[in-house]
Amino acid sequence: MASTGGKQRGNYGNSAASAGPYYFEEEERVWKPWVVPLFVIANVAVFIGTMYVNNCPSNPTPFGSCVARFLHRFSFQPLRQNPLLGPSSSTLDKMGALEWNKVVEQHEGWRLITCIWLHAGVIHLLANMLSLIFIGIRLEQQFGFLRIGIIYLVSGFGGSVLSSLFVRNSISVGASGALFGLLGAMLSELITNWTIYSNKARILFFKILCILICVTYISLNQFAFVGCCIINTCRHHCDQLGCGNTSTC
């Protein structure tokens, strides 16, 4: 049995009735991505809803006038208040931002989930969604919607849990934990399947490029990064022990 570029070729020429070697090819299945685009649409929709609730013109602040007032109630908070072009912190808190006191003291555990879908501004949203598309589409094509969907959601939850334990003086929002879960899955796949790649230089370049893009988020929420790495390590060891075929981060 020989393998070339994801295709297998077998020789069944031992039969006397066979006129010659018989070859068969089995191509690796390529999944059609739809979960990652759905996540992108959901994040954008939640941000639009957040800006609708924010309604900057109806809530004047001492920081100045709203940015892009032609958007009316969808206009952004003053740059002195939010330089990322987004809502106020009070609106994010109302929409379900992660806050240690409300999660632990007031038992609002649902914030561990809702904060994953919130973003502090247009800049924050664009950076996260571009990274999600850049990494997630390729992974979903290779591993399917179920595995990538579970990795994204469980990684986001794990990052939120660890973030809530250490970030106690401010609110936290964003999909950084979920993105690092996908990054961890990508690195796990690289290490596991390194020996079967025919073009190692190209694959290594692509993976390093992904790391350089995503590692910039560590400074935004390093605890979400660490949390998803811990969960992803557990997932990798679980796969090695044969706990199941579904990848989780």
Could you report the per-residue pLDDT of 207-229, keeping only the tens digit for each?
Answer: 666 666 555 554 444 444 444 44
Q: What is the mean pLDDT of residues 155-178?
A: 86
Q: Tell me which residue of 161, 202, 199 sits closest to 181, measured CA to CA.
A: 161
Query: Residue 157: pLDDT above 80?
Result: yes
Whether residue 115 contacts residue 160, with contact meaning beta carbons closer than 8 Å, is answered with yes
Determine what percent of the chain is predicted with pLDDT higher than 90: 40
Q: Which of 77-81, 183-187, 205-209 has the highest mean pLDDT?
A: 77-81
Average pLDDT, the chain: 76
Cα-based distances in Å from 39 to 91, 179, 186, 190 = 22, 11, 18, 24
Is residue 95 within 8 Å of residue 85, measured between CB atoms? Answer: no
Over range 10-34, report the average pLDDT: 54
Q: How far apart are CA 11 and CA 29, in angstroms?
A: 22
Q: Tell me the pLDDT tens digit for each residue of 91-148.
A: 999 999 999 889 988 999 999 999 999 999 999 899 889 888 988 898 899 889 999 9
Which pTM does this prediction carry?
A: 0.72
Quickly list H helices, 32-144: 35-54, 89-95, 100, 111-114, 122-143
